[in-house]
Amino acid sequence: MINIRWYKVLNDLAGNKTRTLLIVLSMAVGLFAVGVILSARSILSRGLAESFAAINPSTGVVRTGETFDEQFLASVRSMHDVQAADARRNLAARIEIAPDEWKNISIFVVPDYNEIQVNKIEPDTGAWPPPEREILIERAALQVIHAQVGDTVRIKLANDTIREMKISGTAYDPAQMPAQLDGTPYGYVSTETLDWLGESFGFNELYVIASNPEDEEWSRQVVNQVKDKAERIGLTIPMTMTAEPGQLPMDDILQAILALMGILGVLSLSLSVFLVVNTVSALLAQQKRQIGVMKAIGGSSLQLLGMYLVMVMAYGAFALLLAIPLGIYGARALSQSMAYYFNFDLASMDIPMQSIVLQGIVGLALPVIASLVPFISSLRISPAEAMSLYRTGKGRFGTNPVDRMISGRNLWFARDFPVRSFLLSLRNTFRSKGRLLLTLITLTLGSATFISVFSVRSSLTSTVDEMMKWFNFDVMITFGRSYRSEELQQLARQLPGVYETDTWQQLTVRRVRPDGSEGSMIYMFAPSPDSKLISSPGLAEGRWLLPSDQNAVVVSSALFIEEPDLKLGDNIVLKLYGDEFTFKIIGVSIGTSFGTIMYANYDYVSRITDRAGESDALMVSMSTHDPESVLSASSALERLYESNGLRVNTVDTMFVERAQAEAIFDTIVSLLLVMAVLMALVGGLGLMGTMSINVLERTREIGILRAIGAPNRGVAQVFIMEGIAIGLMSWLFGALLAVPMSGALNLAVGTSMMGTPLTYSYSVSGMLIWLVAVFFLSTLASYIPARNASRLTVREVLGYE
């Protein structure tokens, strides 16, 4: 037979269903947030690694200027330090995405799509392998080219041939950067189609897996061996690339997101802990009288402790029953949407046991630990005191300076205003200071997270602004080779609407490390230091180029992610057109890791590369900057140069560049917003829990209000105003805490994405949005308990114990 005291526990749980539901819900929301974040983080990290491993990823890429054949590929495969190698043709072409609007596209040609050994491409929808004279598009790229499977698109090749091709399906190529993130779509055709396009077959990209793929340094050496081998047979090597082991191309941004999720996971865990502590202490405060009665009839401290711990654990267990399945569902949904956005498949959606165990600890052990302090304090009170009827609610008021400041004669000046209800609410807020503190901590953390999330969003926008401020031009055209600068500018000025033009050297360079190995490709822009079309409004470190500078470079901060041994003031050896030159880093700009950029003086670069008076990039500033005119001018410029026999390589408009930069950040922002809403929900429920317990504790007080003539509205008002007062205080503290918190988030996101913190921008709009939100949240959180309170009859409440 069950001991009778356990019946009391059961009756307490079942007897007050509203309270049980509220406590369980409060705990469940916190646990849900912890579960979603931790599980999704784990699913994504694991899924990313598995997804990448499944394609047999290359550890290095060697691009050749000329094509090579199967024989050379076979010789690379037979190299001692090469585990596997494969090759493709990468054809630079243009695709028409709207009438007369062309976009760069990389078209891959693979002889046998079913026999790919390295960087495997998988069928997705439609035809497989690509049928003759038709094209497959990478699945994430369809949205970028505004097309559907079955559509016919026009493709323009470097030799100006234009072909119409049907999109016969989609392919899945996780080794490529998702098209929406770098703006480059990918297509796949057969060797027969290549022939039809007027190009003879041959490879120009070699994918290599080093014998020890986990060792990045070794991989780099192997890539250099392959490069040397290629050069020995007369091939030129415009680019080599070494991948970090086990990392997909968008790893930087995903790592930033995972880092962010880690931080938010810890935050939601703290929120959840405070929520649990808050709820449990409120519950115990409410049970103080019953504890007194049980002590009076001989209940030992140990017996009482056991009873209440079981009760608290029961709440935790119910909350876990809700939070675990919902958390699993939420984590899977979040992981799936992220994987979809970053274009990788999740082989497994298994929830990590650690996440569930952690939820279990938070849900079961923490409430027990949390209840010990208030429980011990309630045991100290004598039975007589605990059972005393001479009380109207918990908490002593008037015993400390804060209380005294808002009572007594101090507010007597307001006597001629009907503000007593407000005073009652204000002072009630400070009545149970321990609970107020816990509620404030919970809500303040929620507030600070919400405002910080908006600040990170605002900082991301500021960072994009900062990056784009550099460019005072609307269109940038790069050419297949260098042309006379004068000729390029003269042609552009013929076009109506062109306001200003400038020509730069634009080349790809690589760092040559002290050990002789080469780094990844870096875009070097060499404008004149006095160019009006580039400005350096603010550098992360150092200074901008001066006309007198010779071998000076300003590098983007992202370089330091790849080359961590470098810093401002260091010398850097760069390989330009096959020759090595030493430059000095004099400034650091903010930039993403997608395409590291550096700037050098035109005069110096054109001199050392023997291209004085020549340029291969043209910048154009238009008199009107709206997207429509810029787009139409860019198409007109492209036609103009082509009709004059100049080979245009790429045409980029700044508003598209900006949109792409923002697209990268949008994912982070969306994720952050989901988290912010979740935090707001946890905070709101915490407040609702507190307010409900406050109402329960002050039931007798409600009776007095009723007895002296308070209408329903009057009773509800007291509690709603108290809720709002707590909400507003948390807003104020949260707005202050958001300053360092958003700084830390900016550092985490910025460092992992760009090697430098984001340009800090505190979101005033986020602060104001949260002010409105917290006002409504507090009103709502206190409205329900207040409404219930106002429905109680006087006899019910005065008879309440």
Which residues contact another protein (rule: CB under 8 A)?
Answer: 389-390, 392-393, 396-398, 407-409, 412, 415-418, 420-421, 423-424, 427-428, 431, 700-701, 703-712, 714, 793-795, 798
Residue 627 tokens read as: 């997207």
Whole-number minimum distance, CB 776 to another protein, in Å?
26
What is the C-alpha separation between 688 and 684, in angstroms, rounded? Answer: 6
Cβ 432 to another protein shortest distance, Å: 11
DSSP state of 411: G
Identity of the residue, 84 or 423, whose beta carbon is nearer to another protein in the bound complex:
423
Dig out the tokens for 762 from the structure: 């505190």
Asked whether 76 and 85 are in contact (CB, 8 A), the reply is yes
Structure tokens at 248: 């997909």
Q: How far is the CB of 702 from another protein (least distance, A)?
A: 11
State both tokens at 737: 């805490």
Instruction: Tell the smallest beta-carbon distance from residue 801 to another protein (Å).
Output: 13
* Packing angle of the helix pair 654-697, 764-791 (nearest 10 deg): 30
Residue 150 burial (CB count, 10 A)? 10
Q: Which is nearer to another protein, 306 or 714 (CB)?
A: 714
CB of 22 to another protein, least distance (A): 24
Q: Which is nearer to another protein, 148 or 793 (CB)?
A: 793
The residue (of 421 and 472) whose beta carbon lies closer to another protein is 421
Task: Give 427 or 511: the residue with its C-beta nearer to another protein.
Answer: 427
CB nearer to another protein: give 65 or 711.
711
Q: Which is nearer to another protein, 174 or 292 (CB)?
A: 292
What span, in angstroms and rounded, lies between the C-alpha atoms of 245 and 250?
Answer: 13
Sequence-separated (6 or more) residues with CB below 8 Å from residue 176 = 138, 186, 249
End-to-end Cα, the chain, rounded Å: 30
- Shortest Å distance, C-beta 431 to another protein: 6
Least Å from the CB of residue 393 to another protein: 7
Number of CB atoms found within 10 A of residue 623's CB: 12
Instruction: Decide whether 416 or 515 has the Cβ nearer to another protein.
Output: 416
Distances (CA, A) of 143 to 183, 185, 547, 630, 632: 10, 9, 44, 22, 21
Instruction: Give me the least distance between CB of 700 and another protein, in Å please.
Output: 7
How many other C-beta atoms are found inside a 10 Å radius of the C-beta of residue 594? 19
Q: How far apart are CA 727 and CA 664, in angstroms?
A: 34
Neighbouring CB atoms inside 10 A of 479's CB total: 19
Of 115 and 390, nearer to another protein (C-beta) is 390
Distance (Å, whole) CA 692 – CA 279: 10
Rank residues 376 and 794 by Cβ distance to another protein and give the closer one: 794
Cβ pair 92, 185 in contact under 8 A: no
Question: Residue 423 or 768: which CB sits closer to another protein?
Answer: 423
State the minimum distance, in angstroms, from the CB of residue 669 to another protein.
44
My answer on whether omega of the bond before 129 falls inside 30° of 0, hence cis, is: yes
CA distance 63 to 67: 9
Question: At closest approach, how far in Å is the CB of 797 from another protein?
Answer: 10
Residues 165, 197: Cα–Cα separation, whole Å: 10
Q: Report the amino acid identity of residue 263.
A: I
CB of 389 to another protein, least distance (A): 6
CA-to-CA distance for 182 and 177, rounded, in angstroms? Answer: 7
- Enumerate residues 6+ apart whose C-beta is below 8 A from 357: none
- Enter the DSSP assignment of 350: P
Q: Which of 703, 755 has the CB closer to another protein? A: 703
Nearer to another protein, 388 or 494 (CB): 388
Smallest distance from another protein to CB 291, Å: 21
Q: How far is the CB of 10 from another protein (least distance, A)?
A: 17
Structural contact between residues 467 and 733, judged by C-beta atoms closer than 8 angstroms: no
∠ CA 714-720-724 to the nearest 5 degrees?
140
Nearest alpha-carbon partner for 683 in 579, 774, 776, 557: 774
